Amino acid sequence: MRELKGERLEKELARLKLMREFENSYPEYTLIAGLDEAGRGPLAGPVVAACCILPKDAVILYLNDSKKLSEKRREELLPEVKEKALAYGYGIVDEKRIDEINILQADYEAMRIAIANASEMLKKKGLGDAPQLLLNDAVIVPEINIPQVSIIKGDAKSVSIAAASVIAKVTRDHLMAEYDEMYPGYGFAKHKGYGTAAHIAALKELGPCPIHRRSFIKKFV
């Protein structure tokens, strides 16, 4: 990763400081978690949510909304995010469950699993039983007894949500690369299951494979 110095470093630190404004707005909480998901829109594969609790003094250069980062940068950031996090967890809900309960409910389910897994890591480290506050990217998750704040485009405004977005995105990308080997011909490693022209053409030619979301592909097959 390119080293930052001088004015560029100062600019990056200033950007990250702005991305801590939401976290700093709640000084009464020491365990603030960011919550985000990846894979809500694709035609194939799971939805993956992640929950990440960073120390208040954590500095992770280049951290941002995962959609604004290159694949290479996301891969570089993931180990640092996991290393510096007090705790993190992710939840995976597959395409069959998505078809069964719809994508919004599947999204919520993945988020609840992610929160539970992050809470379990906190407990194992002796840091607490659960996050004290959730900063969410544009949602309020039902059936959660933790205070929540919904932030529109939160993955670009909060370091905690940005960290969760990187975990969710990279975790899902790795899964789709594995599926590409299991189901060749669709290009999952490249488009990650999203409805690109190439993916739709392959879907029409080959028909759906086991990881396609039947409720998403009705107009293509």
Model pLDDT for residues 124-165, shown as the tens digit of each residue = 999 999 999 999 999 999 999 999 999 999 999 999 999 999
Q: List for the chain the helix, strand, coil content (%; round to 5).
A: 50, 15, 40
Residue 162: inside a domain: yes
Q: Is the pLDDT of residue 1 over 80?
A: no
Q: Please report, for residues 29, 32, 70, 110, 151, the alpha-carbon distance to residue 147 in angstroms, rounded to integers and kept in the order given.
A: 11, 10, 32, 18, 13
Any idea what the CATH number is for the domain that residue 163 is in? 3.30.420.10
Q: How far apart are CA 142 and CA 112, in angstroms?
A: 9
Sign of CA dihedral 58, 64, 67, 73: negative
Residue 182: inside a domain: no
pLDDT of residue 174: 98
79: left (phi over 0), alpha (psi -120 to 50) or beta: alpha
Confidence of residue 5 (pLDDT cuts 50, 70, 90): confident
Say whether pTM exceeds 0.75.
yes
Residue 217: inside a domain: no
- Tell me the residue range of the domain where 77 lies: 6-169
Residue 26: inside a domain: yes
Residue 76: inside a domain: yes
Position of tokens 């939840």?
A: 91
Q: At CA 131, angle to CA 126 and CA 135, rounded to 5?
A: 150
145: burial class by Cβ within 10 Å (0-12, 13-18, 19+)?
Answer: exposed
61-117 pLDDT, tens digit each: 999 999 999 999 999 999 999 999 999 999 999 999 999 999 999 999 999 999 999
25-70 pLDDT, tens digit each: 999 999 999 999 999 999 999 999 999 999 999 999 999 999 999 9
What's the structural domain count of the chain?
A: 1
Residue 160: inside a domain: yes
pLDDT of residue 3: 74
Residue 102: inside a domain: yes
Residue 24: inside a domain: yes
Strand pairing class (87-93; 47-53) = antiparallel
Strand residues in the chain grouped as ranges (E): 32-38, 47-53, 87-93, 133-137, 148-151
